[in-house]
A and B are shown apart, each in its own frame.
Chain A
Amino acid sequence: RKEVEQDPGPFNVPEGATVAFNCTYSNSASQSFFWYRQDCRKEPKLLMSVYSSGNEDGRFTAQLNRASQYISLLIRDSKLSDSATYLCVVNSAGGGNKLTFGTGTQLKVEL
């Protein structure tokens, strides 16, 4: 089983739609969780951290369910500029800031 699993997509949605991505992780001792965004042929960039209480940043909401080892990202009112690959990222237990990346979920927002 992969450490971090995501549906690769692509998710094709119309502009203005709400879309949700899910991710599961296998190591129950994992400590920190993130969503990174990667545009085509560009480097990954941190989108947001994910906390157990859930957190929101504008149109983006991230949730963590430790019991189910499940992370989600919700994007409301999708924009064309949201088209990218969204990488689910887990900081492995034991510290050292070792990040394990999922394969990414590709989002295409269309007119």
Chain B
Amino acid sequence: EAGVAQSPRYKIIEKRQSVAFWCNPISGHATLYWYQQILGQGPKLLIQFQNNGVVDDSQLPKDRFSAERLKGVDSTLKIQPAKLEDSAVYLCASSFPDRVLYEQYFGPGTRLTVT
């Protein structure tokens, strides 16, 4: 079974520039998550989708971050404009919504450096 795919793996941009990340979840996983992991911290949930609807975006900085999952499969996360504090690894995860174990499967992440 193919895992969660993310691209790009690395991105370096200057502050105030824009950047977009792409995620393809495991086939059949209706729930998709975007996390931000700053060095030395645990992942922090930014947004959760159930199919193409948003379940939770309470921690998404909506003045600069946006995310979409138009067809209920792939998703993109965008930052515009980027700030220095956005430097982090952006992790995408997916899961079956009805599995008791609630295991989330993570992609390899996109490492963003804002200079």
Interface residues of chain A, those whose CB is within 8 Å of chain B, are 4, 8, 32, 34, 42-46, 49, 87, 89, 91, 96-104
Residues of B51-110 at the interface with A, using a CB-CB cut-off of 8 Å, are: 55-56, 91, 95, 97, 101-104, 106-109
Q: Are A96 and B104 in contact (CB under 8 A)?
A: no
Interface residues on B, range: 20 to 34
Q: Are A98 and B43 in contact (CB under 8 A)?
A: no
Give every chain A residue within 8 A of B56 (Cβ-Cβ): 96, 98
Give every chain B residue within 8 A of A102 (Cβ-Cβ): 42
Which of A32, A87, A97, A102 has the most chain B CB atoms inside 10 A of its CB?
A97
Q: Are A43 and B48 in contact (CB under 8 A)?
A: no
- The distance from the CB of B31 to the nearest CB of chain A, in whole angstroms, is 6
Residue of A nearest to B3 (CB): A43
Known: A96-B56, A97-B31. A104 touches B42 (CB 8 A): yes
Known: A91-B102, A97-B97, A98-B45. A43 touches B109 (CB 8 A): yes
Give every chain B residue within 8 A of A99 (Cβ-Cβ): 45, 102, 104
Whole-angstrom CA separation of A104 from B109 in the bound complex: 17
Give every chain B residue within 8 A of A87 (Cβ-Cβ): 42-43
Q: Are B41 and A103 in contact (CB under 8 A)?
A: yes
Q: Are B108 and A42 in contact (CB under 8 A)?
A: yes
Whole-angstrom CA separation of A66 from B55 in the bound complex: 27
Q: What would be 28 A-B contacts, judged by CB atoms less than 8 Å apart? A: A4-B42, A8-B40, A32-B102, A34-B102, A42-B108, A43-B91, A43-B106, A43-B107, A45-B106, A46-B103, A87-B42, A89-B42, A96-B48, A96-B56, A97-B95, A97-B97, A97-B102, A98-B45, A98-B56, A99-B45, A99-B102, A100-B45, A101-B43, A101-B44, A103-B40, A103-B41, A103-B42, A104-B42
Which of B56, B102, B104 has the most chain A CB atoms inside 10 A of its CB?
B102
Residues of B13-49 at the interface with A, using a CB-CB cut-off of 8 Å, are: 31, 40-45, 48
Give every chain A residue within 8 A of B108 (Cβ-Cβ): 42-43
Give every chain B residue within 8 A of A104 (Cβ-Cβ): 41-42
Residue of B nearest to A6 (CB): B42
Give every chain B residue within 8 A of A103 (Cβ-Cβ): 40-42
